[in-house]
Amino acid sequence: MTALHDIDELLPRLRLLGTAELHVRGQVLRNFGGRGAALLLAQLALAPRKAHPRETLIDQLWPDADLDAGRNRLRNALSVLRTALADAGCEQVVLADRDSLRLAPGALVCDVHHFEEAVQRQQWIDARHIYAGELLPGHYEEWVEEERQRLARLAERIPPHLPALNADEQRAMALVDRAGLLARRGAPGFEARAVELLEQAVRQAPAFALARTRLAGTLYNRALRLVGPERRSQFQRAREEVEAAVKLDPLDPRARAMWLVYRYRHELSFAQTRDALLDLAERFPESPVPLNALGIVYTDVGHAVEAEACQRQAHRLEPLNVIGLYNIGAARMNGYRYASALEAFDQVLELEPDHGVAQVGRFFALAGLNRLDEAAAQARRAAETGAIGADELGFYDALCAHWAGRPEEARRLYALPTTAALCEREAAYAVLRDVHLGRWDAALARVQQMRADGDPNLLVVFGSRNGLDTRRDARFEAIARELGWRPLDQMLADAARG
């Protein structure tokens, strides 16, 4: 069993800017078995979602070779590359068939994509840190030159007078990089380690706003899967970190967008938050962050159509980010569009097979489609990968039993000690249990208390398939309407129109 502190070393990282090397499990692989093998891996990594036709690869890598010679060179390069990767502990990185080659989904991460993301988000400190030099120095193939020039033009957008990072900030930046690779996988074990690394970064450079912003975002995402007091503690820590980041760097759109979302939970009205985020999006038109935040706010009040529109626009600005795909799926699911939500979650899991929240989203999408046996199997897969705990698995089994019309089995599962304890810690779960057991007055009292507390988990009560259980009751529907949700019948009509 791999120790938690070693998890980050399992993520192969390909660097092509200023060098050509693969970092994996503490090793640095610089010799990929020759020039052809190195260029082959680079070509696949620069377009990781694409199936590359063999003939196209031959034309790009050996333009002067005839077809038969090119095919032999490609076979040899692929064999040599696979051997070098296997020796470094990276197997099944390249998938090949008779016609094409491609990277296996989630097989490695590449600094070029992180650089492009940083530029798109206008995260200039990140971009400058990642851009360690020109693409594939020493290689002068036509396609390399074209890609090199494109990336150099992106680098020219980095403001020339950024303050230089001091030694502590440089060390903190290295920790932030490692944490980002972990957090993007969206599973609790990876996120816990990411939080540890980001806390180290903040201790290393307390005045470095970027480290605090990343810590706040990771704490927030992690809190969404926690329950009870631990969840509230994580939310509060996230808010404190983002408030500190805003004070250190008032112009950072990511920190300001996060700050507005946190304030929205307890202080600002929906209209105030929406207008502030729209203004932020106008000021930073190339950053997807304000649009992501706006999508979250729309989702909170059940405006699923608007939420998806924001998330799709954000994803166009940052097409390599799987979180954007997940947010599109979440917006669709909370608008009762389960088939298209399932499609989005499957796309996430194709790119990041261990993405925890997408695994949970897939459970609810399958349940919404009444594919309950598949939903139950998905819940078990989520538990096996650590996306949910054993107590949550018991709760999900109870949900499936209720939705399948097996009330006695649902009642038995809800009465299990672990499930009962989970419901005592987490009000949203208790609401659903009480609704399913016919304890409507108790469920209503919990919802009213959640509303008074500003509990963001009201989305769990009114969104997804759960809304079909709770909002059929006029008293729950009235609270949903007061919070800004569309009427349930209107949302179902929107979903039917697609």
Provide the residue type at 159 as one letter.
Answer: P
Q: What is the pLDDT of residue 134?
A: 94
Encode pLDDT of 307-321 as tens digits: 999 999 888 877 767
Query: What is the sign of the dihedral through the CA atoms of 95, 101, 105 and 106?
Result: positive
**Is 70 exceeded by the pLDDT of residue 474?**
yes
The percent of residues above 70 in pLDDT, for the chain, comes to 95
Q: Are residues 298 and 271 in contact, defined by beta-carbon separation less than 8 angstroms?
A: no
| Phi-psi map region of 12: left, alpha, beta (phi>0 left; psi -120 to 50 alpha) | beta
109-110/13-15 β-pairing: parallel
Given pLDDT bands bounded at 50, 70 and 90, which one contains residue 5? very low
Cα distances from 136 to residues 17, 43, 177, 210, 275, in angstroms, run 6, 11, 21, 28, 44
Given pLDDT bands bounded at 50, 70 and 90, which one contains residue 163? confident
**Structural Rg of the chain based on CA atoms:** 24
d(CA 449, CA 436): 19
The chain-wide mean pLDDT, for the chain, equals 87
Provide the residue type at 201 as one letter.
Answer: A
What is the 8-class DSSP label of residue 337? Answer: -
Mean pLDDT of 17-25: 87
* Nearest CA-CA partner of 45 in 133, 116, 97, 120: 116
What is the 8-class DSSP label of residue 47? Answer: S
Q: What is the pLDDT of residue 4?
A: 33
d(CA 365, CA 444): 25
Structural tokens at position 184:
């993007």
Encode pLDDT of 172-200 as tens digits: 988 988 888 777 666 667 788 899 999 99
Count of beta carbons in the 10 Å neighbourhood of residue 477: 18
Domain extent listing, the chain:
4-155, 426-498
**Is 90 exceeded by the pLDDT of residue 322?**
no
The more confidently predicted of residues 59 and 263 is 59
Q: Which CATH number fits domain 4-155: 1.10.260.40, 1.10.10.10, 1.10.357.10, 1.10.3720.10?
A: 1.10.10.10
Q: What is the pLDDT of residue 455?
A: 77
The more confidently predicted of residues 244 and 271 is 244
The more confidently predicted of residues 12 and 203 is 203
**Sequence-separated contacts (24+) of 239-243 with Cβ below 8 Å:** 241/202, 241/212, 241/213, 241/215, 241/216, 242/212, 242/213, 242/216, 242/217
Distance of CA 36 to the CA centre of its chain: 34
Provide the residue type at 380 as one letter.
Answer: R
Q: What is the pLDDT of residue 62?
A: 92
